[in-house]
Amino acid sequence: MRALSFMLGLIVVGCGETSQRAAPEAIFTAAPAGAAATEKESHRMWMTVGDRRFAVTLSDNATARSFAALLPLTIDMSDLNDNEKHAKLPRALASDASKPETIRSGDIMLWGTDTLVVFYVTFDSPYSYTRIGRVNDPAGLAQALGPRDVRITFSKS
């Protein structure tokens, strides 16, 4: 397929100066059919709390990939400070912590190397975390999680 694209690019380049500028870029930057959907799906997971299901976009980092390798995962999470749920993971994950300064409702992060944290309130924080992902639409997240312990299932589908 790449050889055919290359040949078509050479043909288009030879068709005149205006074609030479526009067409080769279009040929060489076009993604194969379905590639965008596959990439989006590989960065997506679901978080289910009771009867509520939230779409999550995973970060593009080693921590998120390590977390995705644990899925499906059902975990009991305890409330902390009426703004987050936390639980120890079955194993440590790669981490690259930084201080986000502002935590947003819907952020899913790793504290240390083995503590999963799901935030359901926006606030400023001096702590360091490694980003795993983010709930796409956190509307209703605080209500679903509430200031109590909950069981959350993370899955790829």
pLDDT at 42: 60
Apex CA 22: angle with CA 17 and CA 25, to 5°?
125
For residue 77, give every residue at least 6 positions away whose Cβ sits within 8 Å of its Cβ, in sequence order, or none: 85, 86, 87, 116, 118, 149, 150, 151, 152
Question: Is the domain of 25 the same as that of 93?
Answer: no
Question: Is the domain of 84 the same as that of 14?
Answer: no
Indicate whether 141 belongs to any domain.
yes
| Number of independent structural domains in the chain | 2
Indicate whether 36 belongs to any domain.
no
Indicate whether 37 belongs to any domain.
no
Question: Is the domain of 26 the same as that of 54?
Answer: no
With a cut of 50, which residues of the chain have pLDDT below it? 1-40
For residue 40, give every residue at least 6 positions away whose Cβ sits within 8 Å of its Cβ, in sequence order, or none: none
Question: Is the domain of 86 the same as that of 59?
Answer: yes
Which domain, by its residues, includes 119? 43-155
pLDDT at 43: 86
